[in-house]
Structure 1
Amino acid sequence: MAYEPNASRSRAVLIGVYAYEHRADFANLPSVRTNVRKLHEVLTDRTLGRMLRTTVEAPRESCTRDEALRLIRTSAAQATDLLLVYFAGHGYMDVLGDELYLMTRESSRRTARTTGIPYTGLLAELARSRAERVVLILDCCCSGNAKLESLDDRKFSLLVSSRPRSIIYGGDGIAPTPFTAALLKLLTTGTHEDGSVTVQSLGQGLKEIAEAEAAAIDPDADYDPWVPREVSSGGAGDTVLSAARHHHAEPWWRAAASRAGQRLRRVIGYLGFCWKTWAWGPGQPWWHRLLAGVVITAALAGLGMGVLTATRPEPLCPTPLELRALTSPETRDALAAVADAFRTSQEDLRPLGGRPAGCYQINVTVQAAPSDQTVAAFSDSAAWAEPQLACPQPGSTASPCPEPLRDVGPHPDVWLPASATEYQRVADAVRRPESAVSLGVPFTVARSPAVLAVSRRDGLTGRARAGETDADLVRAATAQGFTVRGAAPLSSDTALVHALHLPAGTGTDDPAPRGDDTAVICDAATATGQRRALLITEAEAAALFDPTMPGRPSCLGQYADPYTAYYPRDVPGLDLTFVPVTWRDAHADTAQRTEAVRRFAQWLRSPDGLRELGREGFRGADPKARPTTAPLLRDVFVRDPGPPPPPPPAADVDALVRRYGQPGGRRDVLFAVDVSTSSYSGSRAATIRSVLSAAVGGLAADDRYGIAAIPGSTGTDGHPAAPLPLGTHPAADAHRAIGALTAVDDDAPIAAALTGWSDQLARDHAGLPLLVLITDDEDSRGISRPPRGDVPVVVVSTEEFGCKLDFNIELTRAKGACLDASQDLPGRIGRTIAQLTATGGTG
């Protein structure tokens, strides 16, 4: 039965951000202003609506973050029955994580975390409300990344307008946006179901309208469709939002308005007759006719100007063309800063595709993915172009299908690999007939020599700043007490070129290298009291030293670390390469995109573009070019380290990639499973069993593994007992042990269990050790500092945002990895174990 909310005890907040201060990042959305006005009218309509005008907050102007949160908090505190929150504007996904941000008036891409409203933060505000029911409606890009979360004991409904990480059309500037237009239609005219419009029937009606519109769209049109989704918990889907019925009777006010209109027409007709008689009646003087003509002409002119003024939209610039640039994680921040400078250049103001002069024409969005995922995506571009065909049976753990759209992101228009070596790895694959992408002629944009950055101003004793081999520098750093760190060669171009010139035994001593150079730098910044030597590039070393660089990683803050750069003579530096990308049958605006790519490339080669690249610590494309900008003119760098060595042969790169892709010997993997009732129950238990089955199935026959339960019993030796002890096991034994796991009505001693199992693995391992913790984080939230151990840890959290918890961040910071429920856990666990136990380090 439908639930009718009490209007006096209910509250609504309608937030529409239609004007943005940083238009280079987020274009204005004039249609959003119409959204809020019309939705307010429907919700407070005397016949249809279920809200009072005094209980609906609908600000006329675009809100700042603080203003929006103040409105939400006030309504959340006042509502005791229904709390409805509506947001329309720009949505933005944090490229370094999986957080959805709702952009407010003062938001920019660089300040998204501080000026935008994080979805998790919004949920926290809603959870503090006294309302019995909460309805959240999001009309913005990437709203599909919003997940249905538990709001304590409240009934919660979520309505979103897009798929995960998807852009949707922002409207024509006059009518409402497509999603809200359909929402208004259903709230006004009703759904196909009998009775009032509930959240559930609204979601079904929106889906039907979206499918009908999508079927009518030209497949070649460059149109980003809206794809609604409605999910509810606790039976919140029966909440009534409108009294409209599919065939409802005419309301009383409409009949009264019709009668008033008839009387008004009679009065106007009488006045018109009098006027006509005075001006054109028989015997009237000529000046009556002249004066009447002048009056009528002036009245028509005034009416026309009034209509134009009232209906004319604000002089807002149209949405710029979205140009996506894909690069490596180690260059993302720097290139994002360079792209910001391009948005304010003259190249971005010249008309493109009918957009008026003076408006921003191109919006360059920089996204990043590790090199191994990027290479895999381009090599299997068909799965990137049509993921639904590549994964006909999603969720299968037997043979996980490639999902580049999830792992790498939307289709790029420009590829900027940190090294031409990465381009060479995919050149042959994209030439195959089945490839869905073609790559243009590449050219070098800038260079950055490979360096060993030593965390001490006086550097390495007895070693020259340039001219030594990479192996000699690493050996010297190790001998002098430095901890050598580098990223995983499969996912970092920097680590790959270093690894090519380091004999076995002279690489890093890290059993689980970080996934990219930014993580290596951030780890070094937080490793107080340690002497570090980092295998990175000159540009990254400049970021360590110079806090004024625009693209400096935010983890470094304003502190200038005293690092000294050493230049190995045998390691080729990174040559940042510009590669145009064309997707077959992807866009109807191919000509515009080609011109936009050409403009971006031309600007990067111009003095302005080279100056911005120099500010980020890059040298010119000419190998003989010396640095001319501030970051590289300090004494910790060498202006002329000598001629760069030639790039490595493709055969050597392929051999190294194959070597690092293979397990580095036998593995010892222990799966520690949180079986407390909060963790091992319902759908979570099924997820945990799927993760275990997928992980065990990906291990080799000679790998040793075990399964332990937390909480569990203690063996006779004083150590925790395991349902499946560490050793080699047939598949049947593993499946039997997984099926035998049962929930325990007790808290899980996570810290103590981690310490015990880590110590046992460190002492008894016969191969590469790895500890996998599978938990719901319930019993680790209150632990301020996780235990330290020598064994890498993989945390598998069954919570949506488990990897953002401080405990899990600290536990996996130095070595390890974290997966949470926002990812495909069964599909990714095997790959994560393989990465952490592949031939480690860089040597």
Structure 2
Amino acid sequence: MSRFDPRGRANRALLVGVSEYDHTAPDPQGVTGQLPAVRHNRKTLEDALYRGGVFGAGEIRPLASPSRGDFTGALHRAVREAEGLLLLYFAGHAVVTDTHTHKLHLQMRTARMVAGEELPGAVSFAGVLSELCAPESRAEKVLVILDCCYAGNAAAIWHRFEAPQESREKILLLMSVQPNRCILGGDADVATPFTREMVRVLNGGGEVWLSDLFLQVKQRMDEAGYEAEDNDPQKPQALAPPWDAGADVLLAAGPVRSAAPAVASTPAPESETTPESEPAAESETAPESETAPEPETAPEPEPVPETVVLTAAVSAPGPAQPSAPAQAPTPTDASSSTSPSPPSPDTDPDTDPDTGLDTDPDPDPDPDTDTEVDRRRWFRLLERPLALFRAVAERLGRTVLILLLTLLFTGVVGGYGLFVLIGDSGSCRPALELRLLTDPDLEPAIKAAADDYVASDANTTDDGCRRSGVTVYSAGAAGVVTALSKRTDAWQRPRDDDNPQRDIGPQPDVWIPATRADVRRVTAAQEDRVFAHLTADDEPFAYSPVVLAVPKGLDDAVEPTGRTLSQLLTDLEQAPGEAEVRRPDPEFADSALLATVGLYGGRADARGAELLITQSGRPESSAVRLLCTLPDADAVDDRSVALVPEFLLRSGVDCHPATRAPRTAVYPDDVPGLEPTFVRVRWEDAVRDADARSAETDRFRSWLTGDEGRKALGEHGFRSAQGERSLLDPKSVRDGLIDEIRPADSAEPSEMDTALERYGNAHGPGRVLFLLDSSGSMAGLWDGSSGGPGIIEQTLTGLGGEDEYGVWAVHGLKGRTHTDLLPFGTHARRDAERALDAARVRDAEADPSAALLDALAFMRERGAGDERPQLIVHLTDGEDDNRLTGDGLERVLDRARAAGVPVAMVTLKNGACDRDRPGTRIAEAGRGRCLDAGDDLVPTLRDEVARTGTGEE
């Protein structure tokens, strides 16, 4: 069997680095401490893998300090997308609950240490293996790399793991330490030893196979004498040896070359970097021992003749090197998947302790852009000639060589970058880095525009140096409004219990909210002591309406303009087919909150309005993520109407290989559109480079709001912020879009705040009433997980400690037609399970119409004073449906329409949900679901209950 070369396949690398934890010592349930070194792990390994050439653009996803849910979601997606090599890397805290059975748990950001086998916020390694071996996994090879305490225990878990042999054989393990050993956490300046040496080998150049990597890392760590806790030697482990051809995987295929230099406290001139030197990514790490030597002082650069015009560009063509901003952090549900965790002044040596601002911006370009791919290709073509020319330069002298090379390169490469060959990058000081915070949906377009600015003439000095870089990152809109209005003190001086730098990101110089109303929401809620001062432009610089993106085939049911959102949703509901309306999370993306403003409109009942939105589990955090996930299932994509900003239908979303259903934009006339606005943020006491920062911010603002910025935004589908809101780029008009529209009124702060509050109420603790048919005919459908009580038990995971619920046993034809099996109220899950286990079939018939009428009246009374979500679940075998006919059925239908409580009609036999059957009609009247044995009954019902309840951790 030949060794596995994954190049050319759909590969995925998920790099999980948990450097920040919510609960740390001295909290009795906290982990031992923060792990600032892990931030270096994630960044240096990502860079090494990109250089290696095995993983292409968009195939590497760093995950910075995720929660358990974010990790499992990202892993599930990587498993589905990978067809060649799937690489999973984890660095962070890990624990074992039993060293004899090797129960290993990887601890995510929210991890807590409690007694027992289950650890909140942790993921069992056995569960990770289950996901990696899932039937939908198409990866040919899976490499798991663990840099954590007890990493070596993973091998024993793999040996005992039950899975098909072909699934087990494709999994390879690389572990940082032997079993039952803890490793040292490292320090804030460098990566941890195992990852540090692994990156060194990957950066060594040429082909690096897994077998080579393991043997070299093992040798280097042994020679360096790295130690685990208690002075034990740290010895990396691997599952695959002895290596055979079928167990070896190519991890790097790049040539021996130098990397773009990292900015350090003592920056070295670029001309000092040669192909024989250490890669620049390692300049941040110690070499082969735990202690890094003092950096050498770079020699003074020789003066360059003033008659020669030099450029600092390293990509061709163009006057300046496009530098993507330092990777900025986002929160767990953040929309930028490539952003690491924010630095904290307590741990980051490059952060000003007084202001919290980064003084050492990361100049590494964004590897996800086409520009970066081209840049790397140019490096590969030119790196060896560059090395030769530099060597000749030392012998011939600069002046003679400059004259020769000017003639040569003007003809060959259009005067490309003489400065790269002989110039001294040390003559260009590190550019000032601006921090730009924006809305999750705006982030891709704003980042692309910022990249254009960084490479533009406006951002280039006369001698070819870059003036500034721009770091673009996003965070949930509601969280940003709260942080800027009430948490600016903690933003400057984070605390363990209040850390906007962790939850939002670095202190921004520029904020671009999706609507100017957000600025007024901040200023209206600001408290007396404010450390961030906002200066907002009077007008937005672009516009994009929030539209209903309707799949082809459903678009004939709605008019493209002139209707309110509620009217459009009613039209879709009455149209043939099964249209489902989906919306991102209004607590995270402003586009979703603006859609919610229109959805509620003049409605007095937010709970009823929310029934118009299809939602299974937690909504996607942004419209970008929503449009990414819809193609996961063709049937869902073809019938899903998405509430999203219009510009995303023009620019698209580059996050999924699947083909999306074509969609037409429908323009509700009562939903405010996105109006991105430039807001300058000045932080109190941040005076060290205030003038320079202000000047560069003004320069960027002039470019972004001027002709060049409008052109860049036009290419992404934005419209003019004034007049008829025509598209900035006429070429953006395509099938499904309208050139000129009449915009809805701008958003009002009070409307947004009210809609957000009502949304929270409508999705707060819920109420669920289960009606369990306990008549004699249920005897054969009672026991086991597929019986009536067992099915209800399986839905209880969707209910949390604050949810109210109860179970009625339905039996009898006269008098009271039900008895309390579980009283209505809040319950511990085990108490509810015990009550269901004690349930018994009665020797009686049942009257479902009487029970449903009582249940609808009961729930309507409970929900009269609030907007909490509610649900009635009626579970039966259908034998007594003959009592749901005539006047009895009509009374149930009338009450279901008036009560405003969804009813899920669940029948344990086939055919109960056919057209015009009682269960179907009652479910439709109550805006609920009808399920029978022909459906995927248990998971679907569990989703319905979870939509109403708050769920358990």
- With normalisation by structure 2, the TM-score equals 0.43
Higher relative contact order (CA 8 A, sep 6+): 1
